[in-house]
Every structure is written in structure tokens, then in C-alpha cells.
Structure 1
Amino acid sequence: MKSTEQVLDYFAKKVVPKLEGLRKGEAGTIGVIGGSEEHTGAPYFAGIAALRAGADLVYVLTTASAAPVVQAYSPDLIVHPSLSLAAFPAIERLLRKADVLVIGPGLGRKPEIEALTNKIIRSCKSLKKPLVIDDDGLYFVSKDINLIKDYPSPGVILTPNYLEEQMLKDAVEKSFVPIIGNKTWHSYWGPSVAVLAKGPVDKFYGSVTFEVPGGSGRRPGGQGDLQAGILATFFGWAVKANACSSIPSMAASILTRSCNTLAFQVNGRSMTASDMVRFIMVKL
């Protein structure tokens, strides 16, 4: 793996799209599938972070009960209150529009949501749609580990925290699938599925491995949703630039941790994810 400086230089010069001549949507259209009556902040944080990182458009697909609340958080988000099996034809149209989809923030774990999420992921797989899977989306993957098995390129980036990482690890190991040679459980799903494990140090497992340190040590709820949104925008740019998923993953980790540090300098221990949002800037 190249040095952090080399990767960021490549990201800035080869991955970040030039603004000259772009039309609306060409710097990224991101879909966020998440939210529930109890959890309206998570899809907002993922969506607003994707916009602040440089995407042009963000669609949030959420439940009818959550939609008015998410829309009230920001007029910049396009919110669809159609997260139900009955509305799957409309959902599929949204899947086709998006360059990258974030699946999971605040979804909840109700059986009907699980069935719908699995159907969405299978549809994305047939469309070869790049995915970032976080939060409750990871739980559904752990329930059916073959859901993203052999996912086609550009692929999937899983973004578990420590407990979610252990959940995925246990699910793979309990499947009694032999891991050959020096490979680890992270490689179970195939070469197009990477894992960006969040913790005191972010760890990436894919075609290469690396670690990203930094941050204040303060870890507010919602920071993972911000990182998922930032990553989705960067992943979309990387796909268009034919760059591997490790490049946007490193860039997203570094930006998220930088925002954490800057927000902590202003707010100290009272810092929240909302305080981090205003520091999400890509000056390139």
C-alpha cells in the first residue's frame, strides 16, 4: 500500500471530479436507504454528509412515519416516504438513478424491513450497483451471509463498528465455510467486497489493507452515519475514475477524523455529530 500522502495526492488529482463543465448530478447522485420512526437522525446524517462531501443530489428513501422529520432537518435532501414492499417498483427506479447507495442507517430490524432490504440488495447486485452497507444493513448481512457473496464489481464496502465487526465475523465463522490459506473472514464475500472497520483506528480489508488513526477520541452517535455518506460520494467518484475501493475508503476515514478533531477543538466533550457536519469540506 502506498503512503497516506501518495493516496491522498492520487485522490485529489485523479478521483475528485473537476468542476468545469459539469452538469447537475455528474458529481454524484447518492441514494440513502434508512430511517424508521425511532431513528430519523441516521439517514439525515448520511445524506447531508454525502452532499457536504461534494455529491450533487441525495435521495433518502425512508418510511412514511420518518419522512416528514427527515425532510424537516434539511431542504437539501430529496426524501421519498416509500420504504415498503408494496412500493418496490418505485424503489427500483430510485436504485437505477443512484450512482452509489448507502443501505442501513437507522433502518431498524423489523421482519418486513429485513425482507425489503434483502430484496433491495439482490436488485442492486443484478444492477451491479456500488453499495456502502452500514448499521442495520450489516445485521441483515449477518443473518444471510450469502446475500452479498460474489457481488460484482465495483462492489460493496461494509462499514462496521467493533460490535458489528464481531457480529459479521461470527456469522462467517459459524457458517463452517473453510477459509483457505492466509485469508481471513473478511475475504469470504469475494474480491469486490471490502470491509472498513471503524474503531480507535479505522482498518481497511480488501485488495490491500491499511489503518487510519486520528480523531479526538470523542465518538458521538451519528459519526458512523456521516462517514458512510462521505464514503458513498467518494466511492462514486472512484468508480468513475476506475480507482479501487481502498482509495475512497482512506479518504473518507481521514476526512471524518479531521472533522471530529476540528469539532472537538470548538465544542470539547459536548461535541455531537451535528457539530461535525459544518467541518465536512472538500477544498479540491
Structure 2
Amino acid sequence: MLFKQSLIGVILVCMNKLNSVSLLKVEQCSKTDTLNEETLQILSRSIIPELEGKHKGEAGKIAVIGGSSEYTGAPYFSAITALKVGADLVYVITTKEAAPVIKSYSPDLIVIPYPLDSNLIEILKRMHVIIIGPGLGRDPDVMDRFYSIIDMCRNLKKPLVIDADGLYAVYKNITVIKDYPSPGIIMTPNFIEAQRIKNAIPSEHIPWYSYWGDFVTVLLKGEMDQYKSGNASFDWTITKGGSGRRAGGQGDILSGALGTFFNWALKSNICDDKNSTMLIQSISTYAAAKFTRECNFKAYEKHGRSMLASDMLQEIHSVFESTFLE
């Protein structure tokens, strides 16, 4: 009941920000104890910040930690998506070998080779959201670096998005993110990554995705996207949009979008009760998943089986406009 009352209040506040949403729709949304897609659509539109009167950095400083000599495309796709969705500044923190390659992809990204730990802490302090994992690799030294960064972020209480090889690192040390503090962590595994992590969690813990505590949640990517948390009221499933094309880089695009939406939701003051963190995570994840599926759908319409992740980047503007602004 507490959740239902707070959700009704949030939706009514959103009415002041979204003149295009009818009162009838708001009343329909407020009749449910769960986040149905109509409610999620209203709430996700409400977190989009206005552009007027902003200073550089206010719309988001996002860090993508990843990349290696073998994998330079993944952190690029994640970072450029975070920037094109609407973050002001995006940093890519990567290896010395990968840094010049990623720099060559775009002058819009700030690319930094791994600094000493003391310098890294200072960089992380300035970031609003940190995405860790795209193209990270699985070298033992890389895994150790991942665990060290998680500890830094925990102490700084930084919101995290963990994807790709970051999920492999979690699988190898399943307790590393346990009881992570608010504003929490959103993990974005595909089917195989989710199964691997699930099998590493003690079998007596049910459901497996609540193992880490209230502020660590999971987006299960696939033919349908399923959001899972420790509170079923915040969970949802999306089946619309997307396509059967599974070109590499799509998950990286989602992680970058999620970094930006997560930051916006945190700054939106959409809810100030004890459920606020879980609601914010749910809304921002929905926005990113919906957005990515629509970019995939639009790109596939144009390119069919030859569609690449880079084709999805070309759809960002039109999909953002139609999904969140019209």
C-alpha cells in the first residue's frame, strides 16, 4: 500500500512536467500496485531534463571503464551512446594500448589510460554514474583491477552499471557487490551471462537476483527484456521493439544509454520515500531498454540482416524524440 500511495503521488507530480499526458491515463496508471508499461512510459518521460539554463556537466558526467587491446569497440559504443543520449561529458578509462585507438574513433570522448589509484579516485569522485565492463577482458590483472574499482565506488557510494566482462568478474567473485549501498548497481546480463551468475549463487538463495541486497538489480536481456529486483512491485517485462538481429555492440549501446538515464532519474527527485532508489533504478532501466529496442527496430527496418550496431547509433536522435519528447 505504501508503494501504491507513493506511486500515485509521483505520477501526479509528473503531470506538471508532461502536459501531453491525459488525466485519464494517469488515473488508470494509479490503479495498479505494479509498474505497468503505461506507468513506466509516463515516469521515464518525466526524468528527461530541460536543456535551458543548464551549465556544462549538469546533464551528466559519465565514466566508462573498459576496453583492452582486443576490444576497443565496446567501450566506444557505450560511451558515444551515453553522450548522444544526452550526457555532457563522457570519459573512457581504459588501457594504454586501447586509449589511442578509442581516441581515434571520436574527438568527443575524453579518453584516459588507467591512472594510478589515487588519481583514479579523484576522477571517480567527479562522475555521476560509472559504467564498468565493456571490452574489459578477462585477464587476471584486469579482474583484480575491477575488484579494486568496485571497492572505490562502494566507498564513494557511486551508482554503477555493470555489463559484459564486468559480469564475468562478478561471477568469479560473487560477493564483491553484496550489500552495495544506495544508489546501487544495475547489472545487464544476457541469457548466458545470467545463467553463469545464477549458478554461482548459493542454491538456497531464492530468488537468485535478490542475493546482493535491495540496491543491486538485474536487467535480463534477450528476445524479451526482464527487469528483476528484490521487490516484485518494481519488476517489468518488455516484448515490443527490437529484432532478431544480434550484432555485437548492442549491449554496449544499452549500457551507455542506461548510464545517462540512471543519472537523470537520480537527479529528478521523482520520489523521496524509502522506495526511491528502487523506483529510480526501475524507471531508468526501462527507459534504456525501451530506447535500445526501438533503435534496433528502426535500424533493422533499414538494413535488415546487414544491420550493425553502428547503424543503431544513427537512430538515436529520432528514437529519443519519438519515445520521450513527442
TM-score by length of 1: 0.94
The CA deviation at 1:96 is 0.8
- Deviation (angstroms), 1:163: 0.6
CA contact (8 A) 2:63 2:90 kept: yes
Q: Identify the residue that residue 267 of structure 1 maps to in structure 2.
A: 303
1:211 is the counterpart of 2:244: no
Greater share of residues in helix: 2
Q: How far did 1:161 drift?
A: 0.7
State the shift of 1:3 in Å.
2.5
- Say whether the 8 Å CA contact 2:249–2:309 is kept in structure 1: yes
Once residues 220 and 55 of structure 1 are traced to their aligned partners in structure 2, the CA distance between those partners, rounded to angstroms, is 25
**Corresponding residue of 1:146:** 175
Between the aligned residues of both structures, percent identity stands at 51
Is 2:209 aligned against 1:186?
A: yes
TM-score of the pair, normalised by structure 2: 0.82
- Relative to structure 1, the CA distance from residue 75 to residue 121 in structure 2 (aligned partners, 3 Å threshold; closer, same or farther) is same
In the alignment, what sits opposite 2:133? Answer: 104
For 1:3 and 1:136, the matched residues in 2 are separated by 31
Count matched residues: 274
Structure 1: runs of 5+ lacking an equivalent: none
Select 1:56's aligned residue among 49, 74, 88.
88
- Is residue 112 of structure 2 the alignment partner of residue 80 of structure 1? yes
Match of 1:252 in 2: 288
Secondary structure (helix, strand or coil) at the match of 1:194 reads strand
Contact 2:44 2:286 in 1 (8 A): no
Alpha-carbon RMSD across the aligned residues, in angstroms, is 1.2
Alpha-carbon contact 2:295-2:312 (below 8 Å) kept: yes
| Cα distance between partner residues in 2 of 1:271 and 1:89 | 42
Q: Which residue of 1 aligns with 2:118?
A: 89
Bigger radius of gyration: 2
**Deviating runs (4+, > 6 A) in structure 1?**
none
Q: Tell which has more relative contact order, 1 or 2 (C-alpha 8 A, sep 6+).
A: 1
Q: Could you say what secondary structure the match of 2:201 adopts? A: helix
Q: Which of 198, 206, 212 in structure 1 is aligned with 2:221?
A: 198
1:19 to 51, 67, 75: 51
Which residue in 1 is equivalent to 2:264?
237
In the alignment, structure 2 segments of 5+ residues that lack a partner are 1-33, 271-279
Asked if 1:47 is matched to 2:91, the reply is no
1:172 is matched with: 201
